[in-house]
Structure 1
Amino acid sequence: MKKRHQILCFGEILWDIFHEKDQTWQVLGGAPSNLCYFFNALGESAQLISQVGNDELGDKALMQLEKLNIPYHIIQSDLPTGKVDITIENQEPQYQFNEPAAWDSIPYTENTSHIGKSADIIAFGSLAQRYEGNNSSFATLKQILASNTDAIRFLDLNLRAPHFTEKRILELLSLADILKINEEEFKYLKQLFSLEKLSTRDALYQLIIMLKLNFIILTLGANGSIVMSETDYSAKSIQKAEIKDTVGAGDSFSAAFLTALNHGANFATSHHFANQFSSYICTQKGAFVPIPSKFKAQLTTFSAW
C-alpha cells in the first residue's frame, strides 16, 4: 500500500447545526465529507460524491468545499440540502436529521461512473442508504460497486436511529472489506450475530471471519480504540487532551489509519498515528479544522522504513 490511492467518499454532505447553551452555529459536515477532508489534508487523493439542494445552504456548501480544496462531484437538486441539529450531552453529539434531504437521492451519472471505476478505495456508510428505490443513493452505490469489483470497500457503519433497518445493515456488511464501528455499533452487531457472550477480542474475530473482512476499526470513545485483522491486534488508550467535541473524531481516525498503512506503516504504528490524529481533532470544534503540518511530516517517515 505505497502508491497514492484514489479514494471515493460516497454519501451525505450536510450542515451540522450546533446548539449549546445560548449559542447556535453551523459548520459543514457529514461523515463521508469529513472523511474526504481528512484524507486530502493528509495528502491522499479523495473525491466526494454527494448531492445538495438548489438552495442557499447548497450554494454555501459548494463554496465551502471550494475553500477547503475538497474535490467533489455534486449535483444540485430540488430536494433540500441536508441539515442535522446537534446537541452535546456528556461530550457526545446527539443528532436530529432532516428528511428527505438531497443526499438521499444521489444520482448515477457519467462522472460518477468514471470516478467509481478509477477508485482504489470506495468509502460509504449507512445513513445515505436509508431509502430504497431506483432513485435512491443506495441504488447508485450498488451501481458504483458493481462497476469496480477491485476497489477496497470501506464501510463506516455510522448508525443513526431511526435511519436504518436490520435488512439494510446486513446488505451493507456483505459489501464491505473494512468495517469501522463505535462502541454502540459493536453492541448492535454482537446482538445481531449472537456474540454477546464472547470477549471483545473474540467477538471482533468472529465478525472478521463471518463477514470476510480485511480488518475492523473499533473506536471506544474515552476508552480508546482497537484495530484488528485475522492476524493482527492493537488496542490503545485515548491520549489525554482537553476535548472540545468529538464530531469527526471517528472519521479522522479512519483516514489517518488507512493513510498510515498506505505509507508503509505496520498495524501498530498506523494505530498510534491514528490515535494521535483523532485526539488532536477532539481538541477542536467541528471537523473541518486546520491540520498541523507535523502529521504530514510524520507520514513521510513511514515510507523511509
Structure 2
Amino acid sequence: MSKSHDILCIGSVLWDVIGRAPVHMRQGSDVAGRITRLPGGVAMNIAMTLARFGLKASLLTAIGRDTQGDELIQACEELGMDTTHVYRSEDLPTDRYMAVEGANGLIAAIADAHSLEAAGSKILRALNDGTLGSDDAPYEGFIALDGNLTQRLLEKIAVSPAFAKADLRVAPASPGKAERLLPFLVHDRATLYVNLEEAGLLCQKEFTSSEEAAKGLLDRGARRALVTDGGNSASDATPDGIITQIPPSVMVTRVTGAGDTFMAAHIASENDGANREDSLNRALRAAATYVSGGSPK
C-alpha cells in the first residue's frame, strides 16, 4: 500500500470559467469585465490551498481523455498535486464550472460535474483495491470529500469499511447539494464544513448566526461542524463547546473558492497540531486573504 501524499481530496476537479466585473450587478446586467479559465472544483481548490501550506494532496476524481482533460492534468501536476489515481474516462468530457461575479458578490453559477457523477465509484478504485486502502486495511489519514459526488456514492462512502479509519472532512459543493451530506450528519468520524444557508438546509431550519447553526448541527447528531457566514462570523462546534470568531474585514474582489480555502487552511492548521482557536483563526485569515485577491499562506 503506497502513500506519497499528506491528504486525499475526493470530488470535483474541473475548469473554472469565471467572469468578474468591478461594478455591482443584477439580473440582466451587461457590463465590461474579465473572464478567466483556471483549475477549479471543490477538491481542486482544497488541494491548491493545501499546497500553499506545504501539504501534498492526491486527487481522486474523474477527468476526461480530451484536450481540456490533458491540460487540466498538466495544470494539477504543475501545482504539486498527485494525479496518479485520477480516473481518466474515454467517453466522458472534462467537467466545467461557470460563474459570474460582481462587486456585490456571486451573481450566478452553474456547475457541470456530470462526468464525475457518471464515473461514480470508479474514482475510488485505489481505496478498494489495496493501492491506497481496502475494506480489510482502511485508509488512515485526512480525506477531504465534496458534495459533487452523487447521493448514492456518498451514502456508500459513509458506511464503507475502506473509510472506517479516515479523518473525514466533508463539504457540500453548493447549497443546492447540501442535503447530499445527510449521511455524514451522524457519522462518528466526519467534520462538516458548511455555510449558514447549507446548515439550515441540513437542519431544515433557518439560522441567524454561525453559532446558532453550529449548535443546530450538533443537536442533529453531528460529531463536529464548522459554519461560516461570510464576513459576519464563523463557528467551530464540538460536544466540548462552540468557538466563534469574526473574520478580518477586507475588500472583497472574488468569492468563488473562499469556502474551500477556509476548509483547506483549517485542515492544514490542525495537521500542524494547532488547537481549535488557532486553527479557526488561521482559516479565517486565509479566506480573508483569498477574497481580497491575495494568496493564503
Distance 1:92 1:178, change over 3 A: same
Q: Distance in 2 between matches of 1:24 and 1:196?
A: 35
**1:217 to partner: Cα distance:** 1.0
Q: 1:119 to 1:247 in 2, by over 3 A?
A: farther
> How much does 1:98 deviate?
2.6
Tell me the TM-score normalised to structure 2 length: 0.80
Q: How many residues are treated as equivalent by the alignment?
A: 272
Is 1:126–1:172's contact at 8 Å kept on the other side of the alignment?
Answer: no
Counterparts of 1:198 and 1:87, CA distance in 2 = 27
If each structure's helix is expressed as a fraction of its own residues, which one has the higher value? 1
Q: Secondary structure at the match of 1:127?
A: coil
Q: Specify every segment of 5 or more residues in structure 2 that has no aligned partner in the other structure, as ranges.
A: 21-30
Which residue pairs with 1:100 in the alignment?
114
Q: Equivalent residue for 2:166?
A: 151
C-alpha contact (below 8 Å) 1:257/1:270 kept by paired residues: yes
Within 5 A, what are the aligned runs for 1:72-221? 72=83, 73-77=85-89, 78-89=91-102, 90-92=104-106, 94-98=108-112, 100-102=114-116, 104-106=118-120, 107-108=122-123, 110-113=125-128, 114-116=131-133, 117-129=138-150, 132=152, 138=154, 141=157, 145-161=160-176, 164=177, 166=179, 168-175=180-187, 177-191=190-204, 195-196=205-206, 201-213=211-223, 215-221=224-230
Give the secondary-structure state (helix, strand or coil) at the position aligned to 1:233.
strand
CA contact (8 A) 2:50 2:265 kept: yes
User: Of residues 216, 227, 231 in structure 1, which corresponds to 2:236?
Assistant: 227
Deviation at 1:230, TM superposition (A): 1.6
Normalization by structure 1: what TM-score?
A: 0.78
Residue in 1 that maps onto 2:52? 41
Query: For 1:74 and 1:56, how far apart are their aligned partners in 2?
Result: 16
Asked if structure 2 preserves the Cα contact closer than 8 Å seen for 1:18 and 1:86, the reply is yes
C-alpha displacement of 1:248: 1.7
Change in 2 beyond 3 A, CA 1:13/1:109: closer
Amino acid at match of 1:249: A
Provide the residue aligned with 2:23 in structure 1.
none
Which of 256, 280, 283 lines up with 1:274 in the alignment?
283
> 1:53·1:102 contact (CA, 8 Å) conserved in 2?
no
1:178-198 Cα offsets, whole Å, 9 max, x none, are 00101211221332xxx5489
Query: Which deviates more, 54-63 or 90-99?
Result: 90-99
- The Cα shift of 1:269 comes to 1.4
Structure 1 60/198 Cα, relative in aligned 2: closer, same or farther at 3 Å?
A: closer
Identity over aligned pairs, percent: 22
Structure 1 stretches lacking a partner, 5+ long: 296-305
